[in-house]
Amino acid sequence: MEKKDTMALVDKGLLLPLMEEFYTIQGEGFHKGTAAYFIRVGGCDVGCHWCDVKESWNAETHPPTDIELIVENAAKYSDTIVVTGGEPLTWDMGPLTDRLKGRNLKTHIETSGAYPLTGDWDWICLSPKKNKLPVGRIYNEAHELKVIVYNKHDLIFAEEQAALTNKDCILYLQPEWSVRDKVTPMIVDYVMKNPKWKVSLQTHKYLNIP
Ligand code: SF4
């Protein structure tokens, strides 16, 4: 297929730059401990300096993959599918979630919200980033807000973001992994003083699983 034809299908969300896919345990947030199939889509220009999946950033290094194939694989493993990245909303998620829903699979997304929300989701984890703030209606749609805490200022950012979310949105503070020893005590103290927040830990990293 010529590159322009491939790009046209990527633009339509019929091909997605697939970085990796794997069956594991959701380690973070509300669904932690739940077995789920992860689809990691390449492409992200948010540029978090502490990002632990920088290999995902350049979409061109990940093969444009037919979403029918992605769904076929996912359906073999789990009824809960987590789409992550990268920033999955770089792409039109409508066709992928239509097909996942067509197989009666539960659709979860982990997103910074930096691009308009597309797709039909059973669970939206919004993890906003300071350098490219969420856009559009995602604050109204998010089921959980997960703010990654790298330093003390991130707690102020967390409150600013929480003020924008809907009333049912569950609020999480999660230590950034590389500074977890430093920031976890600060988060624990903050959550005890501000119990509308909960602590989210990257339990999959403690379990040494993907
Ligand atoms: S939004 Fe996510 S994938 Fe993109 S740079 Fe930030 S942490 Fe990395």
Ligand 1 midpoint to CA 95 (Å):
23
Whether this prediction's pTM lies above 0.85 is answered by yes
Q: What is the pLDDT of residue 47?
A: 97
113: preceding bond cis by omega (within 30 degrees)? no
Ligand 1 midpoint to CA 128 (Å):
10
Q: What is the pLDDT of residue 19?
A: 98
Q: How many CB atoms lie within 10 A of CB 114?
A: 19
Pairing outcome for strands 15-25 and 35-41: antiparallel
Q: What is the pLDDT of residue 125?
A: 98
Q: What is the pLDDT of residue 82?
A: 98
Q: What is the pLDDT of residue 1?
A: 84
Read off the tokens for 27.
């380690």
146 lines ligand 1 (CB under 6 A): no
Q: Give mean pLDDT in consecutive 10-residue pieces for the chain, a chain of 210 residues.
A: 93 98 98 98 97 97 98 98 98 98 98 98 98 97 98 98 98 98 98 98 94
